[in-house]
Structure 1
Amino acid sequence: MNTKTIAIIGAGFCGSTLAVQLLRHPPVTPLKILLINRPGSMARGIAYSTQAPAHVLNVPAGRMNALAGEDDSFYEYVKRNNATATPGSFVERRLYGDYLEALLQHASRNAIPGCELHEVIGEVVKIIPQPNAAGALLLMDNGEHFRADSIVLSIGSCARQAPSIAPEYRQFYENPGYVHDPWQPGALDSIGANDPVFLIGSGLTMLDVVLDLRDRGHTGTIQAVSRRGLLPQPHRELNAHPAYDEGLAQHMLTDCTVRHYVRAVRDAVRQHAQTGGDWRDIIGGLRSATQQLWHALPLDERRRFLRHVRPYWDAHRHRCAPQPGARMHTELARGTLKLAAGRIVGYTSNPHNVSVAVRRRGASTVEQLEVKAVINCTTPALDLRQLDDPLLKSLRADGLLVPDALGTGMDIAPSGALLNCNAVPSDWLYYVGPFLQARDWEATAVPELREYVQRLALELNTALTQH
């Protein structure tokens, strides 16, 4: 029997757990699984590659099992390393990376005969469909090539874009005083202990950078600027899952407009608070209905949400753990971390420092901030029309991948198959990962992603057994 091959491009959370699912329950045998990743550790991705102790998960350990249906697998792993941990503990992200690596290694070692995992380090730059056979040919940046019957893109965070600025200041982004990607190894090494630092953005990446700098011994002032000056909201310490009211989502669906959605949530938060409740219960109660609420919005209403509401949703929905949240507020109270709502209007630099011109929100004057380093803490862009990724650009040019109308991802069928330029689902090319937000909106956290992975594993099972 001919060996079937599934190629998974990207070995972060989704790619590695999909490989685990396929190794445990192969759709056919013999089966070869190619797990292809850029240089770096398998199974960790950017999120779980960090070694900083202050970088902890934003979801409690008891809800972070990697595979659907295994409710306590991560918590049991945590307890083997820390006997005092509870299901409500927010543990280090590097520990979660260790857990994912262990899952992948165990699944590979214990795969049934005829099912094999091959880890490939490198970058796929082009995919060529095979005209007279199922699947396609994958071309690597080093000249190697592989053939696969099914291909899964599991690409998460792509290259960051330089923050917007007037054309005459864009050259600053080549300056040694600018850190484009704080997640690159050694990116923060040149920052001195007393150097004043400027951060572009005030979300979860900003908080990670602040904590990392402080734990390295940095004592200088840190200034952060974002359009609205919103900070990540912290989780509560809970060891029991809170009870949610399912009625709010149904009320919101009676009028599928952003205005009604926002008014309904605000009213629910106010009423809940009157009885001693916490606003987090209201936001948490929408989690299971988020896809339904997103699908119900017309395209213009989705645009309105992205333009006016998204920053507020992100700050309240994607919260930080209690410990880093407390440290952040201590820094703010001391004045060692300063936050402003506004925008950058220019840069002036010399060999010794950088002057950042900031116009605060609502102000007519420009303020000059003198710093030693500027660090980009904006979220990675998901607009495929602007990303300079060779594989994604090639797939677009060949009509195999279509950016969605809102610039938040790609067009993907309910099966997980990519839609081509004729809106036809592929029978061999699939996607799983955060670009699914274009279709379903919430597609970034483990509790959602593990369900997507399980569904795609079942879809691949059907697709390969039919060919």
Structure 2
Amino acid sequence: MKSLVIIGAGFSGTVAAIEFLRTAPEGSTLLILNRSGQLARGLAYGTNSAIHLLNVPAGNMSAIVTEPDSYLDYCKSQDKDITSNCFTPRKMYGEYLESLLTKAESDARGRVDFKQITGNAKRISPFETGARIELDTREVILADQIILALGHFPPLSPAALRPLQDSPCFIKDPWSNDISKLRDSDSPVLLVGGGLTALDVISSLKKSNHTGEITMLSRRGLLPIPHRVSRGSTHSHPELTLELTQKVPDILGYFRTIRSYISSNPEMNWRDVIAAIRPITPKLWLNLPDKERRRFLRHLQPYWDVHRHRVAPATYEVFDASLKVKKIRTLAGRLHCAEEIASGAKVSVRLRGEQHLTDMTFNYIINCTGPNSNPSLINEELIKNLVLENLISIDAYGLGINVTQDLAVIDQTGNASSWLSYVGPMLKANLWEATAVPELRIHASEVAKKIVRLFNEEALKA
């Protein structure tokens, strides 16, 4: 009997489990291990608030590669008025994933032994032809194959805010604190970061009737950009993608080519052009030499992120309405230092284009810098042990974990594991475009099918 253990039960782990359950050979065992005990949620879909919306329309959110209307059909079963253009609550998407997993488990009953364990993996080590997993309860699990399906980790605290680490005025992780329970509804709040996390926090503050001024500080002062209310063209723009893949790979050349193409086709919406580039983004990233990758990360990544990762129109409307009545102000600058004071915190900021520091005071500071995916900076015992024991390697840019084309992890000597695979946003190290459902569903399906093939081959040998 061959066994697969999936560590992590967010989107990637859940979809890998569903795909495995659908085709695994008779006598297989599947065990899902996660610390919360809540399947099919993870950081993204664990919210219970209906105001937290998906940032992708329902029509492109199927978890199953071969069933493009899977999520839309589920939505219509809950509310017949939902269309492919709708941006639905993330809570609903978590319920959808759970329903798919429940059905896959039911259909596989008698063929696959499915178990769930609530626990925290502490260490993984090779054992015979597979592996040994130690939990923090000292329980040991043996596995023939393991899929690490670790998703997003809490944001890092900016260095300037470390003196506030233990202060009640500093919310280090906006996803683990109830923003609605801030003591004073009229308290001035500083959001450090101006991306999608900041907009989630703003929505939560507005829902809790917060009336104080919100200051949003980021290095460049870039504002989020909304999706269109209706879906755009699905034209693949082959002439552009061909030119990008054939040109000498340098980031400025890519940028100029895309900009020129958009300028030469004023009838097109730039959003459709960005969407057309998605399928070739991994190839463009892999083609770039080290110097060009570093140039992109240093100079252009924030601009790419704000145009590529757009926000649901309704979420943006809440933000835009507050901007117009000056309940939110946005600043471009760098935090220099911070100290706790009686009313909260005083921070010193060097605003963009200025040499002197500007002091500001807030009752609360919320870290909205976004999730951390650099394994060397993740404060998790499992990750630390995987690095320490040379079972995984971190890419040169701190974006994630090195893997092969079939998602086997690569150790620090360059060898691919025969029993350990990874799927999740840390694939960004190799593929760049690996943080959203349209890409992750493909990777989760591929890694599950790889393991099914391995189990079938072993069964034939037996």
TM class, shorter-chain normalised? over 0.9
Q: CA deviation at 1:34?
A: 0.8
Correspondent of 2:197 among 194, 199, 205: 205
Residue 65, structure 1, aligned to residue 62, structure 2? yes
- In structure 1, the partner of 2:76 is 79
- Mapped partners of 2:398, 2:452: distance in 1: 31
- Mapped partners of 1:40, 1:364: distance in 2: 50
- Mapped partners of 1:446, 1:417: distance in 2: 20
Which amino acid is the alignment partner of residue 416 of structure 2? P
- In structure 2, the partner of 1:406 is 397
CA deviation string 1:301-323 (max 9, x = no partner): 11111111111010000110111
Contact map agreement 2:87 2:312 (CA 8 A) in 1 = yes
- In structure 2, the partner of 1:56 is 53
CA deviation string 1:194-219 (max 9, x = no partner): 11100000000000000111011111
Secondary structure of residue in 1 paired with 2:43: coil
- In structure 1, the partner of 2:413 is 422
Contact map agreement 2:197 2:370 (CA 8 A) in 1 = yes
Secondary structure of residue in 1 paired with 2:152: coil
Correspondent of 1:315 among 293, 299, 306: 306
Residue correspondence of structure 1 range 287-298 to structure 2 within 5 A: 287-298=278-289
Correspondent of 2:210 among 207, 211, 218: 218
Extract unaligned runs of 5+ from structure 1: none
Residue correspondence of structure 1 range 127-138 to structure 2 within 5 A: 127-130=124-127, 133-138=128-133
- In structure 2, the partner of 1:248 is 240
Contact map agreement 2:165 2:172 (CA 8 A) in 1 = yes
Secondary structure of residue in 2 paired with 1:16: helix
- Fraction of identical pairs, as percent: 36
Residue correspondence of structure 1 range 12-411 to structure 2 within 5 A: 12-26=10-24, 28-130=25-127, 133-165=128-160, 170-239=162-231, 241-253=233-245, 254-273=247-266, 276-411=267-402
Deviates more, 1:309-318 or 1:230-239: 230-239
Which amino acid is the alignment partner of residue 200 of structure 1? V
Q: CA deviation at 1:191?
A: 4.1
- Mapped partners of 1:239, 1:204: distance in 2: 20
Q: CA deviation at 1:324?
A: 1.1
CA deviation string 1:363-419 (max 9, x = no partner): 112222221100000112222222221111111111110101111111101111001
- Mapped partners of 1:142, 1:351: distance in 2: 42
Contact map agreement 2:15 2:63 (CA 8 A) in 1 = yes
When normalised by structure 1's length, the TM-score is 0.95
Contact map agreement 1:248 1:268 (CA 8 A) in 2 = yes
Q: CA deviation at 1:95?
A: 0.3
Q: CA deviation at 1:192?
A: 2.2
Which amino acid is the alignment partner of residue 263 of structure 1? R
Contact map agreement 2:343 2:362 (CA 8 A) in 1 = no
- Mapped partners of 1:159, 1:62: distance in 2: 29
Secondary structure of residue in 2 paired with 1:349: strand
Number of equivalent positions:
457
Secondary structure of residue in 1 paired with 2:428: helix
Contact map agreement 2:163 2:338 (CA 8 A) in 1 = no
Which amino acid is the alignment partner of residue 250 of structure 2? T
Q: CA deviation at 1:187?
A: 4.8
Contact map agreement 1:181 1:187 (CA 8 A) in 2 = no
- Mapped partners of 1:459, 1:181: distance in 2: 36
- Residue 237 to residue 244, structure 1, CA distance change in 2 (3 Å): farther
- Residue 123 to residue 445, structure 1, CA distance change in 2 (3 Å): same
